[in-house]
Amino acid sequence: LSELRPWLRGGAEKGGRVRCSRRVWVLLGSLTLIFLTSLFFSVSLRGGVGFNYLEPPGWEESRRVKLVPSYAGAHRLSPPDSQQQKTCACPRCVGDPGVSDWFDENYDPDISPVWTRDNVQLPSDVYYWWVMLQPQFKPHSIQQVLLRLFQVIPGRSPYGSWDPGRCLRCAVVGNSGNLRGAGYGATIDGHNYIMRINLAPTVGYEEDAGSHTTHHFMYPESAKNLATNVSFVLVPFKTLDLVWITSALSTGQIRFTYAPVKQFLRVDKDKVQVFNPAFFKYIHDHWTRHHGRYPSTGMLVLFFALHVCDEVNVFGFGADSRGNWHHYWEQNRYSGEFRKTGVHDADYEAQIIQRLAKAGKITVFPGK
């Protein structure tokens, strides 16, 4: 600019008759080029529209990640490719990791739901918690009781590990009145495993509840005879329950626990299984979180299925459309008593079921 002043002043004095030299035009051109170049880079760095510039691979993705906060425990319906790991051949598999942080943090695939010769010894905290569920006056040596029991039944788990080529579909059938009129019978019968609880009659209710059963979960006071192709799964609440099952399958000495029980039980001995108290407490600690004195039998069966099946579908849980908690085979004028006993927290368990469904680990058929 200092060099331009004399030229401009001189030009004015001569009435515009002095023409600018080549040096002035070169200087003006240089200034214009610098200005335009600066403007170009300024707009480019701000992501201006209309400019095509190359970015390194993944740059746009990394920029988005930084702008989106990360929420611990958030539900991920579509996990990143690095976390996708199929554990079965079903469309959605219980064992697939990376779908729900909440589920992955609480799910222990290594704990066996069946009490066997290999896990006879209970951890001390499990044992003392379990024996206080239904305290007994007459103590029994649990090791001796189990030793005698495993002389009558196989005492091993028939369930293998996850198989990417398998799709084992399981129906967990509860006893809710919402099954009545739902017409789920054929759907239920189409599963590989069909798990029922306590009384659960099927004769006369085939259209709604199905006719097939592969696993029947009962405790001594609710036990009944089963067909030879059905696995009897004992849910023990005390050592006397183990004494009873041994007796009911052999000598028939036990006729009473805290209530009359079957003296003899007609079931296939080779298919008898015993629910593992350590698995019982695992559900109480990790899933129902100590709500209620202990989980309901329905919750025990549901998580049993979540540990042995690839796909789990749930029927007959919760209230019916009128809010009643009666059984599908009866008109219970005391409907709702299950929610009032204080032993189980039905409302909290219902929340767990809803959360499992939201995480894609189970499908709930709501019934009528």
Structural domain spans, the chain: 4-45, 101-365
Write down the residue that tokens 């000495």 correspond to: 253
Tens digit of pLDDT for each residue in 95-104? 999 999 999 9
Q: Which residues sit opposite 274 in a β-bridge?
A: 234
Give yes or no for a contact between 4 and 11, defined as CB atoms under 8 angstroms apart: no
Asked about 344 being catalytic, the answer comes back as yes
Count CA within 13 A, CB hemisphere, residue 143: 3
Closest CA to 171 of 128, 213, 228, 219: 213
Asked about 212 being catalytic, the answer comes back as no
Task: Tell me which DSSP letter residue 24 carries.
Answer: H
Confidence of residue 330 (pLDDT cuts 50, 70, 90): confident
Candidates 219, 282, 294, 328; catalytic one = 294
Domain 101-365, CATH class in plain words: alpha beta
pTM of the model: 0.75
Tens digit of pLDDT for each residue in 39-56? 544 444 344 333 332 333
Count CA within 13 A, CB hemisphere, residue 127: 10
pLDDT at 310 over 90: yes
Quote the mean pLDDT of the chain.
81
Q: Rounded distance, CA 122 to CA 65, Å?
A: 46
Q: Rounded distance, CA 113 to CA 51, Å?
A: 62
Tens digit of pLDDT for each residue in 24-35? 565 666 666 665
Q: Rounded distance, CA 100 to CA 243, Å?
A: 41
Q: Rounded distance, CA 80 to CA 72, Å?
A: 15
Candidates 191, 216, 284, 344; catalytic one = 344
Q: Give the annotated binding-site residues for substrate.
A: 134, 175, 198, 258, 294, 298, 318, 327, 344
Closest CA to 317 of 163, 176, 137: 176
C-alpha angle 78-289-233 in degrees, rounded to nearest 5: 90
CA dihedral angle for residue 280, residue 286, residue 292, residue 295, rounded to 10 degrees: -30
Tens digit of pLDDT for each residue in 113-170? 999 999 999 999 999 999 999 887 676 789 899 999 999 999 999 998 888 999 999 9
